[in-house]
Amino acid sequence: MKKKIIIGSVVILGTACLSFTPPADRFFEMAKNLEIFSALFKEVNALYVDDTNPNRMVRNGIDAMLNSLDPYTNYIPEDEVEDYRTLNTGQYGGIGASTINLGNRIVVNMIFENYPAYKNGLKIGDEIIKINDLELAKLTVEESNRLMKGQVGTVVKISVKRFNHDHLIDLEFKREKIKINIVPYYGMITGTDVGFIQLTEFTNECSRELKKGIQSLKDQGAKKLILDLRGNPGGHLNEAIDICNFFIAKNKLVVTTKGKSEERNYETQNNPLDETLPLIVLINRGSASASEIVAGTLQDYDRAVIMGERSYGKGLVQMGKPFIYNSYIKITTAKYYTPSGRCIQVLDYSHRRADGSVASVPDSIKRKFKTLRGRAVYDGGGIDPDIIYDKAASSEYVAALVRQGYLFDYATQYAASHPAIASPRNFSLMPADYQAFMNWVSNKKVIYQTKVENDLKELEEMASREQYLPVIREELAEIHKKLADTHKENLTTYKDLIQAALEQEIVSRYYFEKGATEFVISHDGEVAKAVSVLTNSALYKKILGEP
């Protein structure tokens, strides 16, 4: 007891001494709030009227705390660490198939070639009913996904419902080490000396895979290159640096990171793969983080033409580390700056509005920087492309056909009655094929609402509140009738969009991921635009400010 009193006195005295300095005040506030949280947690669990789930309560508290900082500072509990590693390494133990949810069905939407699912008879379109005799209808999506994955060498049994089969089909697979293909496609653009290569994520060693693809294209005669980073959410910083090094010289600054206690410059370490190869980098709103480092660095050095949409605008760097009880944490530790000195972070999480929302950096305070040849670039809003390419108009009806699985299911039926189709670049549906689809889907209930209809509904509610509805009721009814009439023509109005999406689904049944990507690229207007710029040397040089 005497020993405890002495130790307690020392702690109290030490705390009192430290309290005269700002760090001590901070430590005291941390200790006080932890004690408040612990005491409140105990009281709620003891007294709350209904049973509580302590794990869920603490997790919600942790998530809320970290979300108040930014979306990228995360706590990953032990049971989610394996999924996190999969995202970072692109590897996991499984059978080589991916699934999607269509209503209350879990169906196989992709088979990866030369893995167990491919070799042992699983097909795209199969609905998974049981995994290891457990019915998926009784499990959550997360539980189902975990059952598919597992230790390499272990066996998993799957029961599927297949189109045109009356009974369940039982299949058995031995799990293998699955490597996600982060370079799903590379190839030559037909009739040109332009190579095309796609990178979907910046996983560990992705630069090695990308380098192999680029070298293969050069061996096939590529004199120009399109690098597709559209929809690439980023990943490892060092991989982005290595990829920049493919195209710019050794000892060149790629990115600077500035954190609370450290500023660090990252430079290229090797001789380039090709310092003069004409290059276009495709980006869109889904291109983030490491994608923006590559695009921004190559833009700052006037090394590549950037084409597409303004990128996402994530200029923050995270550090990941193992944490207690086999968990993992990811913490934002710095902002990054491209060689010209700009930070492209679009949202300022350190200054939130009163309601907790985050504002974008206004255009009025964005600063101008200059590329190597003096072209103007700006901070605070992602990477602005040198050539803006507006996406084709979309349709909520087409999105509903995709979302509700009608295109997916029809592609499955089509593949069941057609043993083979033309190559991805040459495949197209005949008019009779599209008419057959129209006849089939016309009997389905496609649930959707256009933006015009949403706006009209808001107008009606406002008119009702302000007592104008009786005055405009007839006009509104007439508009509703006209909109309903246009819905009947959707399959004709949006024929090109629907047919292209359906053809892509059908191609995937025969040629899998690579074939589906090849089909999309061969019909991609943005890729065609990039080719036209690359093959116009004068225009390409003018965009980059070359004399």
Q: Identity (one letter) of the amino acid at 169?
A: I
Residue 74 and residue 331: Cα distance in Å, rounded?
7
For residue 172, the tally of other CB atoms under 10 A from its CB is 12
Place of tokens 């009880």: 325
Strands 224-228, 279-283: pairing kind: parallel
Contact 222, 193 (CB under 8 A): yes
Tokens of 488: 């009947």
* CA proximity to 289, closest of 72, 524, 449, 139: 72
Contact 243, 236 (CB under 8 A): no
Q: Which of 123, 224, 314, 330 is catalytic?
A: 314
For residue 454, the tally of other CB atoms under 10 A from its CB is 11
Is position 133 annotated as part of the catalytic site? no
Q: Identity (one letter) of the amino acid at 193?
A: D
| Burial per residue of 254-280, b for 16 or more beta-carbon CB atoms within 10 angstroms, e otherwise | bbbbeeeeeeeebebeeebeeeebbbb
Please report the DSSP string for 281-322 in residue order: EEE-TT--THHHHHHHHHHHTT-SEEEES------EEEEEEE
Tokens of 67: 């979300």
Q: Which is it for the CA torsion 294, 300, 305, 310, positive or negative?
A: positive
Strands 186-188, 176-179: pairing kind: unpaired
Contact 338, 296 (CB under 8 A): yes
The 3-class secondary structure across 365-377, one letter per residue, is HCCEEECCCCCEE
Contact 328, 287 (CB under 8 A): no
Is position 314 annotated as part of the catalytic site? yes
Residue 425 and residue 185: Cα distance in Å, rounded?
13
Tokens of 330: 């990811």
For residue 39, the tally of other CB atoms under 10 A from its CB is 10
Is position 417 annotated as part of the catalytic site? no
**What is the chain's Cα-based Rg?**
28
For residue 543, the tally of other CB atoms under 10 A from its CB is 18
What letter would DSSP give residue 202? Answer: B
Q: Which of 126, 228, 242, 300 is catalytic?
A: 300
CB half-sphere exposure, 467, CA atoms < 13 A = 0
Strands of 149-203 (E only): list them. 155-161, 169-174, 176-179, 186-188, 194-198
Q: Which of 159, 289, 291, 340 is catalytic?
A: 289
Which positions are annotated as active-site residues? 289, 300, 314
